[in-house]
Amino acid sequence: MSAISLRDVWVEYDEQIVLERVNLQIAAGTFLSVVGPSGAGKSTFLRLILGQEGPSRGAILIDGKPLPDEPGPDRGVVFQRYSVFPHLTCSAMC
Q: Using CA atoms, how far apart are residues 50 and 78, in angstroms rounded to an integer?
A: 12
For the chain, 94 residues long, the average pLDDT of each consecutive 10-residue run is: 88 94 93 90 90 93 87 70 63 54
> Which pLDDT does position 79 carry in this prediction?
64
Measured distance CA(40)–CA(31) in Å, rounded: 20
Integer angstrom CA distances of residue 94 from 40, 69, 83: 34, 27, 17
pLDDT in the model for residue 75: 73
Q: What is the pTM of this model?
A: 0.74
The Cα–Cα gap between 86 and 46 comes to 22
d(Cα 20, Cα 7) in Å, to the nearest integer?
11
Residue 5 has what pLDDT? 95
* pLDDT, position 91: 63
User: Which structural domains are found in the chain, ordered by start?
Assistant: 4-71 (3.40.50.300)
Indicate the SS3 state at residue 20.
strand
